[in-house]
Amino acid sequence: MQVTGRKVAVVGMGGAFPTCTGLDDFSEKLFANKSLIRQWDKVAQYGKQIRSTVSGYITEEEMGLEAVIAPIAEDYPETYIDKLGRIPDANLATADMGSIWAMLGAQDATKMAGWSKSEIESEQTGVVVGSGGAGNLILRIAWHHFFQEGRKARIAGSHTIDRTMFYRDAANISCLLKTKGVCEAIGSACATGLGNIGYAYRLIKFGMQDRVIAGGVEGSSVETFVGFDGMMVLSKGFTPEESSRPFDLNRNGFVCSFGAGIVALEEYEMAKARGANILGVIDEYFNNSDGDGDMFYPSFAGQQRMWKGLLNTRGVKPDVVKVHGTSTPAGDAIELLSVVDALGDSGYHISAPKSQFGHMLGGAGSVEFITALLMLENQKVLPCLNSSTLNPELETFQKAEGWAGPQNPLAAYRHLVPQESFAKEINSVACLNYGFGGTNSAISVSRDI
């Protein structure tokens, strides 16, 4: 049972975004309808070994970092140098690339929040940040030297474990900021970023913490990219800018991308009392599982139950639905139809941020939650780029016996899916993310009015 009167405000945000110098640059490019996706030389060099070569990736140089290569292990980043002096060397030593992004995002989010040193280091301030994968670059080199070259374990260095453990991002943030509250990581595949924010919301809502640093991360990783390419689920055959095309008739897979999104959450009355700039108020979080036993295929029934849970308390139709919208053939169709089934076919618009920067996996939900906050701030809807043609025919599953969803083809909902950003009064945004294993997550966030 929720604690009466406890509301949750978003008071800060930060992260790491492809091709962008920071949050302001990220916002400016998104609302200018630009794509952050480009050809990735690190995978393109493998030629015919790999099908897809485009990504929304981030380099060390773009984040002001420099790898220090171990003298006895070729290509092994023993640690990193922060050229801008933002993170102490001791904290860099325990972090992989994604964890460094998480720490930088946490610094930006807490600075924007205006939290004092004593508030950050309080027992009432927690950290809930997760990642979709391991510290693959570090593991690749470490295991190569041990298994293939037969070298001693110490060649891998003393930080292989702490730089690759599942909750490394949360741990590094907590150690950097010296928080004393909850420190955890929730893993739910591509719903990880939103799931961590949702869990943080519940910690505050239920009275267990007053402030939480929350979000998700996915550090640039050739290993992760190759894994998805091997599943043959990545987009191919388009220019980089046209590769991510949610809902489009010619979509053929998602763009594997990387990034970090970190937000600062605070109990609403506390934030209000100290005059904080409230970026948004989280109205509800709901998550569930499909329960159909299928690891990969999306479930219309599961998403129906997710929508029922999200709308159950307030029943308020959002002005914008920030969809998962990956560009996969089945996933996009089922998601659009489940949105229409829940909300009808008018009174809102659909935004698909992955069309601009690809699918950031463990970081997707939190970076896209930040895009929802930016839409509230700018009073503009972000587009669904490249959604040029929606299917004018019924989907195969719509023709199957027992289908209980909308009876119209996707093209009937063209008016809900804008291809360019535009101004609109936005008071509420619903954020959706899904993951392997049939996990579904949804958050409703609104303006403080």
The one-character DSSP state at 169 is H
3-state secondary structure of 339: helix
- Angle of helix 97-113 versus helix 168-177 axis, rounded to 10: 50
Q: Which of 20, 145, 256, 324 is catalytic?
A: 324
Coil, strand or helix at 441: strand
- CA distances to 22, 187, 340, 375 from 29, in Å: 11, 30, 29, 13
Dist CA 233 CA 225 (whole Å): 11
Using an 8 Å Cβ cutoff, are 262 and 100 in contact? no
Distance CA 321, CA 444 (A): 9
Which tokens sit at 169?
């991002």
d(CA 418, CA 421) in angstroms, rounded, equals 7
- 321: helix, coil or strand? strand
Q: Which is catalytic among the residues 349, 359, 384, 431?
A: 359
CB-facing half-sphere around the CA of 138: CA atoms within 13 A: 26
Q: Extract the tokens encoding 19.
A: 């091709």
Residue 133 contacts residue 218 (beta carbons within 8 Å): yes
Which of these is catalytic: 20, 145, 190, 431?
190
Q: Is 190 a catalytic site residue?
A: yes
Q: Fill in the amino acid letter for 241.
A: E
Interatomic CA distance for residues 271 and 63, integer angstroms? 31
Cβ burial, residue 152 (10 Å; 0-12/13-18/19+): exposed
Cβ-based neighbours of 169, under 8 Å, separated by 6 or more: 98, 99, 102, 129, 130, 131, 185, 217
Among candidates 264, 314, 263, which has minimal Cα distance to 285? 314
349 is catalytic: no
Q: Is 159 a catalytic residue?
A: no
Euclidean distance between CA atoms 37 and 239, whole angstroms: 9
Asked if 10 and 278 touch (Cβ cutoff 8 Å), the reply is yes
Residues labelled as active-site residues? 190, 324, 359
